[in-house]
Structure 1
Amino acid sequence: MGNEVTNFNDIIKNSFLNQSMFGSLSAIDILLGLLTAFMAGAFIYGVYRYTYKGVLYSPSFNMTLLVMTMITALVIMTISTNVVLSLGMVGALSIVRFRTAIKDPLDVVFMFWAIAAGISSGAGLYFLTLIGAIIIGAVIVILSRKKHTDTMYLLVIHFTEQANDEVKRELQKLDYTLKSKVVRKQLTELTAEIRLKIDNTAFMNRLGDLEGVQDVSLVQYNGDYAV
């Protein structure tokens, strides 16, 4: 048992000592890896811009996806040349902290996609990188074009106390969830989340015609933000 442990330790030591500080990556391998990463990153860039459904499109974040793919490929090519260097780089990268808030969960998917494409291209799996990018991009485009049967809205009503019962009666006809209710002296502000399967806003006219209702507002609601 002792000899086996000694032999194993010798093998590990020899692998570290005999390995050159820099591997045998050729200029062609480096160019192919970076070119494949650029192609995959550019494809991710286009898919993100085409399928973005948020309020404010961020060109800088989209550009980050492209550059992140190439940087990840460069890191993978670097650590693949030497075991000692790879351990040092992993330790250095472990102290990096990303504090940028991600509002849309789909943005996390694009970030992981860019990192995965960079890893595969940096590892020399060029065909896997391109085929995977095409398949994942097609899935995202298909799912993004799928129309939902209903849409969420925020309904905001300002009314006096005398219209309280009539407003409740009209809201009971809708699929709504009470979000907030603020009473300021004689004026009440009510915010409700409603779901509409079709673009039928006739109920707003009925609410607006009620005695004591000052104004009615309807805003499309999508997760954490309003459109």
Structure 2
Amino acid sequence: MKNDVLQFFQNDLSVNINAWSFSVNLTIAAILAYLLSLIYTRFGNSLSNRKNFARNFVLLAITTMLVISIVKSSLALSLGLVGALSIVRFRSAIKEPEELSYVFFAIAIGLGLGAGQRLITILAFILISGIIILQKLMAREDQRSDSMVMNIISGSSQINIDTLIDLLKKHSRTAKLRRIDEEEGKIDASFLVKLADVDSYQQIRNALKEIDSNIEITFLDSQGIY
């Protein structure tokens, strides 16, 4: 029985890998990981140096593919891999969830090609990359809108919420009330407005100043606020 077990592990360690198939998969992994690095550099949201971080994707993908190609048909090597990974500690922290997502994407490329799932890996890469690019383009369309946050503070009795809404609707495409505080004759209101053109700001400012010369008006970029 003991000899049978030893013989099993000895045979299991003899892993035969087709050199041509391995080379093709390794090349595909490098190409897909490189394309992933371009996508991350172009469409990522991270504030860190995306180009430097993206350089790791190719090495990560091909290394993962190498490991999976070796251990996939060997129980002994698989158990050894589990033991090795159990003592690994990563010292460099992933600061943003997006970075972790792209790291998993690169690992998935290596896993798929290492397991010999060439077609599925390529199709999945195309679909996932398409979703990433589409989401980014849609987000940019939203960011291109002229929406701004307008904060108004006034102590004049002539300024009330109805007056503000009517005036903003007259000089902007849309005006949505986000917050209002009224206390002791003072009004503090915030609106999300979509300006009709570049002159709308000055028109709104002049109209409000005609009613209350001491009114405080603040415009802020709406991106990331609402």
TM-score range, shorter chain: 0.5 to 0.7
**What amino acid sits opposite 1:124 in the alignment?**
G
Distance 1:214 1:101, change over 3 A: same
1:121-140 aligned within 5 A: 121-140=113-132
Asked if the contact 2:148/2:194 (under 8 Å) is kept, the reply is no
1:204-219 aligned within 5 A: 206-207=204-205, 209=209, 210-214=212-216, 216-219=218-221
Asked if the contact 1:22/1:81 (under 8 Å) is kept, the reply is no
Deviation at 1:63, TM superposition (A): 2.0
Comparing 92-101 with 121-130, which one deviates more in the overlay?
92-101
Q: Distance in 2 between matches of 1:14 and 1:62?
A: 44
**What amino acid sits opposite 1:142 in the alignment?**
L
- One of 149, 155, 161 as aligned partner of 1:155: 149
Q: Distance in 1 between matches of 2:59 and 2:202?
A: 48
**What amino acid sits opposite 1:175 in the alignment?**
K
Q: Which runs of 5+ in 2 are unaligned?
A: 169-174, 182-186
Comparing 55-64 with 150-159, which one deviates more in the overlay?
150-159
Q: Which residue of 1 aligns with 2:93?
A: 99
SS of residue paired to 2:192: strand
Q: TM-score, normalized by length of structure 2?
A: 0.64
1:36-47 aligned within 5 A: 36-47=28-39
Deviation at 1:101, TM superposition (A): 1.9
Asked if the contact 1:150/1:196 (under 8 Å) is kept, the reply is no
Deviation at 1:43, TM superposition (A): 1.9
**CA RMSD in angstroms, aligned pairs only:** 4.4
1:144 has 2:136 as partner: yes
Distance 1:191 1:69, change over 3 A: farther
Q: How many percent identity over aligned positions?
A: 16
Q: Which runs of 5+ in 1 are unaligned?
A: 1-6, 182-187
Q: Which residue of 2 aligns with 1:17?
A: 9
What number of residue pairs does the alignment pair up? 206
**What amino acid sits opposite 1:78 in the alignment?**
I
Q: Distance in 2 between matches of 1:164 and 1:87?
A: 78
SS of residue paired to 2:110: helix
Q: Which residue of 2 aligns with 1:76?
A: 68
Q: Which residue of 1 aligns with 2:184?
A: none
Asked if the contact 1:45/1:63 (under 8 Å) is kept, the reply is yes
